[in-house]
Structure 1
Amino acid sequence: MDHRSFLAGLTAEQRTELNETSNRKGLAALAVHFGSIAFLGTIIALGVPGWPLLMLPQGILIVFLFTVLHETIHRTAFRSPWLNDLVARICGFLILVPADWFRYFHFAHHRHTQDPENDPELGGAKPHTIRQYLVHVSGLPTWWSELKTLLKNASGRCADPFVPAGGQKKVQHEAVTSVALYAVLAALSFILASDALLFVWIVPCLFGQPFLRLYLLAEHGRCPFVSNMLENSRTTYTNRLVRRLAWNMPYHAEHHSYPTVPFHKLPDLHRLTKDHLGATSESYRSFHRDYVGSLKNLTGTG
């Protein structure tokens, strides 16, 4: 069964229930995520003994705001559109991924999932050697790409084919605003001779990015180049903590099959699709074990 047949078989009642958004559930999840960042950030800023050890979990929490950004650009995190847009802009700013630009990028990814000619997510090719894998997982190419994109957009030179002509000015304005705010924060840190932002935000993000790369690689890595969303996207089974951190996006085939379903309803959707999923992994560890194993076979390295 492909995702279109599956969706066609849903009743009107099932569709209504699956698509029910909620400000309450969204705000509760956001309070835990932002609250954890604020709590760890405060401890780091105060220099409580052992604070350097907290930069890794702090960084993981911050970079996984990407999953909040993802949910909000779909406008499924909350019932109120304005709340989705506000949180999307905050999250995008914190991880160097402006929300308007990312919305165009991501919706093109949904329209052309695993299409080598049109899926913008395939523009940064998945690793095919051990060396490429290590470089990819380091997160450094990601930061460099995001910085270049931000500066290019701010200068009005955005040439991404997924950004429509009518969206060019909006993307530029968003990028200019972001660059200006980053400059203000840097200037304030210099004037106040404070390294708080460095150790509460920037360095933790560098530590946390590899964990986001490992997570994201499982979403479509080694999935077939077909149009069936139940096959070209992977659902990865994991524990409750990771699912909460990623706003249930480990149910990724489900999300691609029915992207208007909010994060808190994805477990319900999974129960309906689980017998039809074409790409699954029992854990992120097993996915990467198999992925690295395939790279070793390709390169002939041990």
Structure 2
Amino acid sequence: MSSDRSIQPELSDSKTDKQYNARQILTLQELSVLNDRSNRKGLVHLTGHLTIIGCSGYLWATNWGNWLLAIPALVIYGFSLAAMFAPMHEGVHRTPFANNRLNDIVAWCAGLLSFYNSTFFRHYHKWHHLYTRVPSKDPELTDLKPSNLGKYLLVLSGLPWWVDKIRGHFRAVLGQLDDCPFIPEAARAEVTRSTRWQLTVYAAAIALSMTAGQPWFILYWLLPLFVGQPILRFILLGEHTGCSLDANLLTNTRTTLTLWPVRFLMWNMPFHAEHHLYPSIPFHALSKAHQQLSSHFAHIDPGYIKVNRDILSKLRQL
């Protein structure tokens, strides 16, 4: 893997100048201060996230029959589990920790919990940053889009995500990556090996569950992740939906001002426009970056409920 600190876009199309001009908003000195990575801050945040998973999971496991407590615990547990996507995403950028080996390990383990493979995602996400919202280039644009109410609800359910992940993992295991132009030929063996290890861990967890005669794998991973995915989809829909379909980083990504618990579990990813403009800034500095950059962005919305209401409002007008 590359030892780059983060995924840095280097577009070669006619819209490159806009991106580089936007990236000149901060001075090199200002950016250097914001770019400071910290093992301590990363580990403290990770410990907090894992503590929420552990406590909510314990309440879910020990309150069968007391559904007034068990159901909210399941929702929190499921979302905090699905939200391990966030440290996986940050680790892929190699920004949450000063130690790159630690970034890679946390990214892989967080992907294991959230059903992503960090090795595959590193290459996929690099192209997303290289070609953000550029039609036929940004791989995220191939995902199902909420073009009507039915598709919006389908996307929100998480079902297309599950199908895509199951199909994608098994294709990676078999080395069938020809339809993934974002993965270089030299990296395919690594992606295949990483995915095989990940599915091996799942297989071992299923075997342990079956040997014990207990539905542990279903109750404490599969079901919670099914519950948590719609909440994660509700949040991720706000990142780019309704933004410009071009390479202008000031208009093609949205920052959403949301509650602290959501920002915490999402590792400050709601400051998404700031992240896309300067991917090298670690999660803990994004709120400070927002203070310096917010006036330049076209899309800053007060909460995910408003963002999704706006999405639905536009769908009704189609």
Distance verdict in 2 for CA 1:205–1:152, change over 3 Å:
same
Q: How many Å apart are 1:242 and its aligned residue? A: 1.4
Q: How many Å apart are 1:198 and its aligned residue? A: 1.9
Q: For residues 316 and 22 of structure 2, what CA distance do their matches in structure 1 show? A: 37
Report the more deviating stretch, 1-10 or 278-287: 1-10
Q: Could you tell me which of 141, 148, 152 is aligned with 1:133?
A: 152
SS of residue in 1 equivalent to 2:238: helix
Match of 2:273 in 1: 253
Match of 2:37 in 1: 21
Match of 1:191 in 2: 211
Match of 2:12 in 1: none
SS of residue in 1 equivalent to 2:250: helix
SS of residue in 2 equivalent to 1:232: coil
* 1:110 equivalent in alignment to 2:126: no
Question: Letter of the aligned partner of 1:80 in structure 2?
Answer: N
Q: For residues 145 and 11 of structure 1, what CA distance do their matches in structure 2 show? A: 41
Deviations 1:30-70 (A, max 9, x none): 01101111122223333464434411110000001111111
Q: How many Å apart are 1:5 and its aligned residue? A: 2.4
Match of 2:177 in 1: 158
Q: Could you tell me which of 119, 139, 149 is aligned with 1:100?
A: 119
Q: For residues 62 and 101 of structure 2, what CA distance do their matches in structure 1 show? A: 34
Contact 1:237 1:283 in 2 (8 A): yes
In the TM superposition, 1:1-302 aligns within 5 A as 3-47=19-63, 49=66, 50-159=69-178, 160-298=180-318
Question: Letter of the aligned partner of 2:233 in structure 1?
Answer: R
Contact 1:55 1:199 in 2 (8 A): no
Q: How many Å apart are 1:3 and its aligned residue? A: 4.8
Q: How many Å apart are 1:228 and its aligned residue? A: 1.5
Q: For residues 59 and 195 of structure 1, what CA distance do their matches in structure 2 show? A: 16
Q: With structure 1 as the length reference, what TM-score do the two structures score?
A: 0.95
Contact 2:273 2:297 in 1 (8 A): yes
Q: For residues 255 and 63 of structure 2, what CA distance do their matches in structure 1 show? A: 40
SS of residue in 1 equivalent to 2:251: helix
Question: Letter of the aligned partner of 2:315 in structure 1?
Answer: L
Q: How many Å apart are 1:77 and its aligned residue? A: 0.9
SS of residue in 2 equivalent to 1:220: coil
Q: How many Å apart are 1:211 and its aligned residue? A: 0.7
Contact 1:225 1:232 in 2 (8 A): yes
Question: Letter of the aligned partner of 1:229 in structure 2?
Answer: L
Deviations 1:89-135 (A, max 9, x none): 11111121111000000010000000111100001132101000001
Contact 1:2 1:230 in 2 (8 A): no
Q: For residues 236 and 9 of structure 1, what CA distance do their matches in structure 2 show? A: 20
Deviations 1:5-41 (A, max 9, x none): 2432433321210100011111111011011111222
Q: For residues 205 and 125 of structure 1, what CA distance do their matches in structure 2 show? A: 20
Contact 1:45 1:196 in 2 (8 A): no
Q: With structure 2 as the length reference, what TM-score do the two structures score?
A: 0.90
Report the more deviating stretch, 36-45 or 96-105: 36-45
Higher helix share: 1
Contact 1:63 1:209 in 2 (8 A): yes
Structure 2, unmatched stretches of 5+, are 1-16
Q: For residues 306 and 39 of structure 2, what CA distance do their matches in structure 1 show? A: 35
Q: How many Å apart are 1:249 and its aligned residue? A: 0.9
Q: For residues 40 and 260 of structure 1, what CA distance do their matches in structure 2 show? A: 32
Contact 1:55 1:200 in 2 (8 A): no
Q: For residues 146 and 116 of structure 2, what CA distance do their matches in structure 1 show? A: 22
Q: For residues 288 and 139 of structure 2, what CA distance do their matches in structure 1 show? A: 29
SS of residue in 1 equivalent to 2:298: coil
